[in-house]
Amino acid sequence: MDFSKHPCFSAEARHTTGRIHLPVAPKCNIQCNFCNRKFDCVNESRPGVASTILSPDQALGYLKEVDDRVENLAVVGIAGPGDPFANAEETIATMKKVGEAFPEKILCLATNGLGLLEYVDEIASLNVSHVTVTLNAVYPEIGAKIYSWIRFGSRVLRGVEGAKLLLERQTAAITALKARGVTVKINTVIIPGINDGHAEEVARYAAALGADVQNCIPLMHVEETAFADRPVPDAGEMQALRFAAGKHLRQMSHCARCRADAVGKLGEANTEEIQALLKKAARIGPTDEWPFIAVASREGLFVNCHVGEALQLWIFKNENGKPVLIERRPTPVPGGGDERWEALAKTIPDCFALLASGCGNAPLTILAKRGIAVTAAECLVRDAAEPLFRGEPIPKVLERAAGSCGSGALCSGTGTGCA
Ligand code: SF4
C-alpha cells in the first residue's frame, strides 16, 4: 500500500499535499452520542459540519474550480456531513464523476460502516483506494453506550441490539474491503469512561480483519449532545492508549478532525475564497429551462414557511429584476417519506430555487438532485428573490441554515424536521 501522498495516512504528506472533502452526504443513519450535525458555522472545525450541501454535479464543478487554485490537492474525499452510505446514490455518483475527471487523484471515503457492505464492489471498481471506518467499540455493550440509535433499512435499533448489528456490518465491510485491496483506516473516538480502556481491543480486532492504520481521536465537546459534559482525554492519556493500541495496529496521531467541507492541508482553515466557491457551487441561477423561483409562504409576501409545512408554493418569475407572482401550486400531502419530496420536485420542474424558512435534510437532498437549490431565509420574498434572479447569494443577514431542521417527525414549522 502507498501511504505516501495521502495527508491523513502519512504524517509527512500532510506538509506537502492537501485534501478536499465534498459535502454531498447530508443524511446520517446513526445517532452517535458525541455528534450534533445541526451546528453549521464556518468557524467551527469538526466532522459533521459543512456550510452547504452540493449535488454530485455541483461537487464536480466546485472541485474543478478549487483544483485550479489549491496546490497539491492529492485526495478527494466524502466525509459527510452525514454518512456517505446514508446517501449512497450521491456518494457513488460523485466518486464516479471525480474519478473520470481526475484519474490521478486519490479517492477516499469516511463512513460509520453501517451501509458500506453493499457498495464495496462498486467502491473498488471506481478505484476508491482509501476508506475510513469509525469503529468505536468491538463489544456491543460498550457500543450501546455510544450510539443512541441506528437506522438500518426501515428498522431503528437501540442499545445492544443496534450496536451488535453495527459491529457485524462493520466487520463484514472491512473484511470485504481488504479482500479487494482497499486501504482501511479505523477511526476510534476516545470517550473517557466509555471506551478509553477499549482502544487496544479495537486495534487488535481491526488488525485481525486486515485494517492498515488506526486513528484514535479524543472526544470533542459538542453542544447539545449526550456527551457534552464528559471530560475529554488529555495528551498524556492519548499517548498511552495509542502506545498500547500501536502494538497491534499502526497509529495515526496527526488527525485534524476536519469539517465535511475541508479543503487544503490538514489543520488549515478554509479560506474566504474557498467558502465563496462553495457557496457559488451550491447556487444555481435562472436558466431558460428553469426560470422561476418557488417560495414557501403563507400569504405570498414573506418567506415564512418550512418546506415540510407549506401547503402551497408561490411561483415567481423575473421581470426586470423584480419577482412577479405567476401562480400558486399545491404541495403533496404529508407522509410517504422520500416520495413526498420527489413529488414536490415534480411540481416545480421549472424552478431553479426554492425559498423556505426551513428545510430538513431529506427534501434538501432530493431537491438538490433535481437541480433545485433550497435557500433558507426569513424575509420579504422580494429581498431574497432579487439577488437569486441575479445569480447572487441572498444577504447573509437573511440566511438561515438549510438542512438544519433534523429529520423524522412531521414538520411543525418549528424546525423539528420534514417528513
Ligand atoms: S478528519 Fe482526520 S482523518 Fe479525516 S481528513 Fe481530517 S485529518 Fe484526515
pLDDT digits (tens, 9 = 90+) for 52-64: 788 888 899 889 9
- Cα(266) to ligand 1 centroid in Å equals 7
In the predicted model, what is the mean pLDDT of residues 236-264? Answer: 90
Q: Provide the percentage of residues in the chain whose pLDDT is more than 90.
A: 53
Q: What is the model's pLDDT at position 413?
A: 40
Q: What is the pLDDT of residues 180-199, one digit of tens each?
A: 999 999 999 999 999 999 99
Of 238-242, 254-258, 321-325, least confident by mean pLDDT is 254-258
Grid cell 444577504 — which residue? 395
User: 16 or 408: which carries more pLDDT confidence?
Assistant: 16
Q: Is the dihedral of CA 237, 243, 246, 250 positive or negative?
A: positive
What is the position in ligand 1's atom list of the atom closest to the CA of 132? 3
Q: What is the model's pLDDT at position 418?
A: 53
- Cα(404) to ligand 1 centroid in Å equals 23
In the predicted model, what is the mean pLDDT of residues 89-116? Answer: 94
Report which of 54, 58, 112 is spatially closest to residue 83, judged by C-alpha positions. 112
User: 372 or 380: which carries more pLDDT confidence?
Assistant: 380
Give the C-alpha separation, 379 to 383, whole Å: 7
Q: Is pLDDT of 48 > 70? A: no
- Cα(107) to ligand 1 centroid in Å equals 14
Of 16-20, 209-213, 224-228, 232-236, least confident by mean pLDDT is 224-228
In the predicted model, what is the mean pLDDT of residues 300-314? Answer: 93
User: 11 or 40: which carries more pLDDT confidence?
Assistant: 11
Q: Is pLDDT of 241 > 70? A: yes
Please indicate whether residue 255, judged by its CB atom, sits closer than 6 Å to ligand 1: yes
Q: Is pLDDT of 393 > 90? A: no
**Of the residues 3, 5, 8, 250, which should be mutated to test ligand 1's pocket, given the most ligand atoms within 8 Å of the CB?**
8
What is the phi-psi region of residue 276: left when phi exceeds 0, alpha when psi lies from -120 to 50, beta otherwise?
A: alpha
Please indicate whether residue 19, judged by its CB atom, sits closer than 6 Å to ligand 1: yes
**Of the residues 251, 266, 270, which should be mutated to test ligand 1's pocket, given the most ligand atoms within 8 Å of the CB?**
266
User: 246 or 361: which carries more pLDDT confidence?
Assistant: 246
Q: What is the model's pLDDT at position 152?
A: 93
What is the position in ligand 1's atom list of the atom closest to the CA of 217? 2
Q: Is pLDDT of 9 > 60? A: yes
Q: What is the model's pLDDT at position 42?
A: 46
- Cα(96) to ligand 1 centroid in Å equals 22
| DSSP at 410 | P
- The b/e string for 114-144 (b: 16+ C-beta within 10 A; e otherwise) is bbbbebbeebbebebbbbbbbbbbbbbebbb
Q: What is the model's pLDDT at position 402?
A: 55
Q: Is pLDDT of 134 > 90? A: yes
Q: Is the dihedral of CA 102, 111, 131, 270 positive or negative?
A: positive
Report which of 131, 80, 85, 134 is spatially closest to residue 106, judged by C-alpha positions. 131
Q: What is the model's pLDDT at position 39?
A: 46
In the predicted model, what is the mean pLDDT of residues 317-346? Answer: 91
- Cα(255) to ligand 1 centroid in Å equals 5
Please indicate whether residue 257, judged by its CB atom, sits closer than 6 Å to ligand 1: yes
User: Quick one: the chain helix, strand, coil %, rounded to 5?
Assistant: 35, 25, 45
Please indicate whether residue 266, judged by its CB atom, sits closer than 6 Å to ligand 1: yes
- Cα(186) to ligand 1 centroid in Å equals 11
Q: What is the model's pLDDT at position 406?
A: 44
Q: What is the model's pLDDT at position 410?
A: 41
What pTM, to 2 d.p., does this model score? 0.71
- Cα(280) to ligand 1 centroid in Å equals 25
